[in-house]
Chains A and B, each alone.
Chain A
Amino acid sequence: MTSIRQQTPVSDGKASKDSSTEKPSNYKRLSDDDLFRHSSQYRFWSFTPEQLEQKRIQVNAQAVQSIEEDLRNFVADNKTDLNEEEIKTIEMKAVPVTAEEELKLINLYAKKVQMIAQRLNLPTEIVATSITFFRRFYLENSVHKFEPKAIVLTTIFLACKSDNYFIGIDSFCEKTRGSKEQILKYEFPLLESLKFSLFNHHPYRPLHGFFLDIQAVLHGKVDLSYMGHIYDRCKKRITEALLTDAVYFYSPPQITLSALMIEDEALTTRYLELKFHGNNPDSSADEQKTISQDISISLEKLMTLIRDCKKIIEQSTNTSVEEAKSIAARLYFCQNPEDLLKKLKKRKHDEQDSPRAEKKTRVE
């Protein structure tokens, strides 16, 4: 798989076509790609798949280490009170979750972020920012340290402020039935985990650019109402892509092109072929030159890149509720082993009363 660290991403369609007359000698023109490479999104939040996996393993390992230490201390501190069965129960049930399991839980809650943000009727971009912030927070923190449920609302609250869509805390709490203290309490940790990098390049802006460009390049050959339809579908597809790891490996325009490819492969392929090889009668020779300079990779390479990206976007990030519950239960018992013992006592008590009664595990 290729990552943006190794590949030049294609610029979005409306690649700077500003009049390229004489420039003052010290005036340097930067392409859109150069700009993206200077962005904090690229500097802090772009990884190769190996780097990303390493990161997740590390965050998890650190948390697990401290949880295991806490559990050992708990057992040691209560040595005299604990019987063998109880110690065994702790060893069996209070098992820290793995990096993989963390990811499953995060994926589930990332969808919750999306759902709540959409229910608040927030603009698409802010829904996107909320999802992005939430997922980045858990690249830096383990679910063992910060319960996802607690971070969800803070994420949306900060995303609104960061994207200039201010909602007062009281009104926000009213709409989300959240706790004011809790939401505000996590604002600093969130900001810090985000490395104070709040500016997002979402793939919606390139989508707009590509749509204008597709209509210019394929002038008269595309149906406008059909294009509108595709536009809306691409937007939805992009929001879904933000729930996947594609955002860490590919640049926003690459994700946009992948979304386009998913929605209409023939159209997208034709557009790109014309863009790379075709003589577009509408653009001057000068513009043609600019475009081929901006797109400094071959069509073939780009197509491979898009196909790889598309694969990741289409991979499901669904986590079943059952699975999430069992992961959450373990998180809880790791943090509260005494509750595990209480439960054990209660079960034994119940069994004595009515041996057959099967009690459902209560999950927080």
Chain B
Amino acid sequence: MPLTTLDEKPKKPQDVETTHPMEKYLRPDRLPHIWCSGCGLGTALNAYCHALDDEGFGLDDFAVVSGIGCTGRVAGYVASDSYHTTHGRAIPFATGLKLANPEMNVTVFSGDGDLFSIGGNHFIHAARRNVDLSVICVNNYTYGMTGGQVGPTTPKTARATTAPYGNFERPFNLPNLAASAGAVYVARWTSLHVRRMKKAFQKILTKKGFTFVEVISPCPTGFGRKNGQGEALDELKSYKERSVIRDGADPTKVDIKMDPDSDIVVGTFVDKEKSTYSEVKEQQLAGKV
């Protein structure tokens, strides 16, 4: 039996008993959140909280740093120390935190535009340095916050308010970019792969070095509707149909295309060991190299 039928009026929020199972990691006083219904951001945040819980993180054990965008608002909903910085600068800000306080477990949670457009330079340099940061990018193929402009991950030919004739540019393949810049862990999941996403988050929360997870996520408002992807549910269905899990796949071969019949390759693509920036520095300062 369905939980509610269509002609039954949905209950008003105050009539429903509500405690989120992950409430301890969230700021309930900041709810309801600003995200559209159908947005994939809640799913990603929820998976992140479950990952924290499974790893036994206390609120003073980790910090979340975001840039600006819909994804950037994540920092404001997490109950730990959190920082909503400027557009594109989450990674250098987080690097500063980490270098000044190496004890801090730092996650950068931000959008595709924030991390790879205006902040792209910082991303590749942090990965090259192998500074110990966990980076989560929610890739919705667009600039959600500012109304759906083209971005560095918008597939070629896709439409956006600033690509009315279809995008002329080729997008970044984020896992490939992260891997070639030096990330020690690279994975991609969609917002449909909640359990696997959570596992990947657990991994990056505990693994040393520059680790990266891309979460493909629907933005029905800014991208989906303009691109014939329908509503969020339709987009999720397309993830189900299109995604193929290929752990260990060559990151150079995981581009995402607009073609609805093309695969979205997901999985863990890189998981390797390499001394971090701080470790290298310690060794050199101790004269061991």
A and B are interacting partners: no
